[in-house]
C-alpha cells in the first residue's frame, strides 16, 4: 500500500506531519525547515510540493529570471513553478522505484532551497 511506504519513510525521518487524506500528508516540521510541505501519492507518482510565496506584481521579469537562474544552477531536486499566482517548489518521484534515500534527498533539497533561496526571493515580496 502506498501510504505505508511513504508514511514509514516519514516516520523513519522523524518528521512532524499529519495525514490530511488518504495518500496526502502535510509536513509541519520547523526543526527540518519543512513547514507546509505537501506529500501526495497519485499513482504512479509521489508529488512533493510547497508554496514559497505569491508572485510579485512588480519587477516580475526580474523575479522570474531569478527563479529560472535558481532552477538552472542551484536546485538539486525539483524545480520552482507557478500555480496560479503562487510560487511553488515541486518534485515528483516514481513511487514504484522510490527508495528511502531518494525520498529523503528530495525533502532535503526542498528544505535547503527554502532556507537558502527565501532571503533572495523575499526582496520581491510586496510589503
Q: Which fold has domain 2-124?
A: Yope Regulator; Chain: A, (3.30.1460)
Please give the angle made by the CA atoms of 120, 122 and 126, to the nearest 5 degrees: 145
pLDDT score at 1: 46
Q: Where are the domains of the chain?
A: 2-124
pLDDT digits (tens, 9 = 90+) for 72-116: 998 888 999 999 999 999 999 999 999 999 999 999 999 999 999
Contact 86, 67 (CB under 8 A): no
Percentage of the chain with pLDDT > 70? Answer: 98
Amino acid at each position: 500500500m502506498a501510504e505505508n511506504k511513504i508514511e514509514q519513510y516519514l516516520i523513519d525521518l522523524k518528521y512532524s506531519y499529519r495525514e490530511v487524506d488518504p495518500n496526502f500528508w502535510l509536513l509541519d516540521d520547523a526543526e527540518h525547515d519543512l513547514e507546509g510541505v505537501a506529500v501526495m501519492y497519485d499513482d504512479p507518482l509521489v508529488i512533493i510540493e510547497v508554496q514559497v510565496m505569491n508572485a510579485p506584481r512588480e519587477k516580475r521579469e526580474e523575479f522570474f529570471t531569478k527563479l529560472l537562474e535558481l532552477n538552472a544552477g542551484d536546485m538539486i531536486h525539483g524545480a520552482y513553478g507557478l500555480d496560479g499566482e503562487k510560487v511553488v517548489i515541486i518534485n515528483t518521484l516514481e513511487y514504484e522505484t522510490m527508495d528511502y534515500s531518494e525520498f529523503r534527498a528530495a525533502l532535503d533539497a526542498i528544505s535547503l532551497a527554502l532556507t537558502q533561496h527565501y532571503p533572495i526571493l523575499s526582496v520581491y515580496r510586496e510589503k
